[in-house]
Amino acid sequence: MSGDEIDLGKRNMITGAVVATGGVGAACAALPFVSYWQPSVAAQAAGAPVEVDISDLQPGEQRVVEWRRKPVWIIRRTEEALKSLQGHEANLRDPESLESDQPAYATNETRSLKPEYLVMAGICTHLGCSPTYAPEEELESGWTGGFFCPCHGGKYDLAGRVLEGVPPPKNMMVPPHYYLSDTVLLIGEDEGVA
Ligand code: FES
């Protein structure tokens, strides 16, 4: 396992322990709809790109898939979610994602190929916990919801951009991906690289 690949089982245990001890705070008050999708055993073993059908993903819904032992989130953002990304750059550590990990096509305000869909590794850039999807929370002024990491209070907006003044050093990572069709994503590979 390489340095940036964090054991999914251990991370989930850490997050579960924090939840069990009540460390999550207000961010878990509203639980958005989350669905899970598991690639085939052969695809997991090979670390191969993962094909995901998103035709039934509803606005606001989060889907979690596993790629190279990482949880990858696919979130269909609502119009309100997209609006929330604007006008709070001063509260962000790296608003233009200049020091963060993403393909060139995701170095934009929404950090995505299509504004409506966010594809992102669900791993906090501090010590690797898995943050909570909290799209409508407002834990402090200037943050209209996004992702909250219960381990040490990391906060990100709905493009995975980290707020100033919290422990994570950079925005969450966007893996290589592209659309095979309007409703099918391939995660783990850039277009034309196969
Ligand atoms: S691991 Fe997320 S804030 Fe520390």
Cβ atoms 170, 181 nearer than 8 A: no
DSSP type of residue 114: S
Q: Cα torsion at 132, 108, 74, 184 (round to 10°)?
A: 180
| CB of 122 closer than 6 angstroms to any ligand 1 atom | no
Q: Is residue 72 part of a domain?
A: yes
Q: Residue 31 is inside which H or E element, if any?
A: none
**Positions marked active-site:** 152
**Which tens digits make up the pLDDT trace of 99-149?**
999 999 999 999 999 999 999 999 999 999 999 998 876 656 567 789 999
Mean pLDDT of all residues in 23-46:
53
The pLDDT, as a whole number, for residue 14 is 37
Cβ atoms of 18 and 129 closer than 8 Å: yes
Comparing CA positions, the residue from 12, 55, 59, 64 lying closest to residue 36 is: 64
Task: Give how many domains the chain has, as a whole number.
Answer: 1
- Residue at 130 is within a domain: yes
Residue 76, domain CATH: 2.102.10.10
Mean pLDDT for the chain overall: 82
Asked whether residue 192 is assigned to any structural domain, the reply reads no
Residue nearest to atom 1 of ligand 1 (CA): 127
Amino acid present at 14: I
C-beta 127 within 6 A of ligand 1: yes
Q: Is the pLDDT of residue 192 over 70?
A: yes
What burial class does residue 14 get, using C-beta atoms within 10 Å of its C-beta: 0-12 exposed, 13-18 middle, 19+ buried?
middle
Q: What is the mean pLDDT of residues 37-56?
A: 76
Quote the ligand 1 centre to 121 CA distance (angstroms).
14
Quick check: CB of 76 below 6 Å from ligand 1?
A: no
Instruction: Answer whether residue 3 is part of any domain.
Output: no
Ligand 1 closest atom vs CA 167: 3
In a domain, 194, yes or no: no
Q: Is residue 193 part of a domain?
A: no
Q: Is 176 in the pocket of ligand 1 (CB under 6 A)?
A: no
C-alpha span between 157 and 89 (Å, rounded)? 10
Range of the domain at 137: 8-187
Would 182 be classed as within a structural domain? yes
Task: Give me the pLDDT at residue 40, please.
Answer: 61
Q: What is the pLDDT of residue 24?
A: 36
Residue closest to 172 by CA, chosen among 188, 190, 155: 155
pLDDT value of position 130 = 95
Q: Which atom of ligand 1 is nearest to the CA of 131?
A: 2
Residues 6+ apart with CB under 8 A from 174: 101, 102, 103, 106, 111, 112, 119, 120, 121, 160
Least-confidence region, from 31-40, 41-50, 63-72, 94-103: 31-40
- Do the domain assignments include residue 2? no
Whether 10 has a pLDDT exceeding 60, the answer reads no
What is residue 182's predicted lDDT score, i.e. its pLDDT?
95
Each residue of 168-189: pLDDT tens digit?
A: 999 999 999 999 999 999 999 9
Tokens of 126: 């501090």
Please give the pLDDT value at position 136. 76
Position 135 scores a pLDDT of: 85
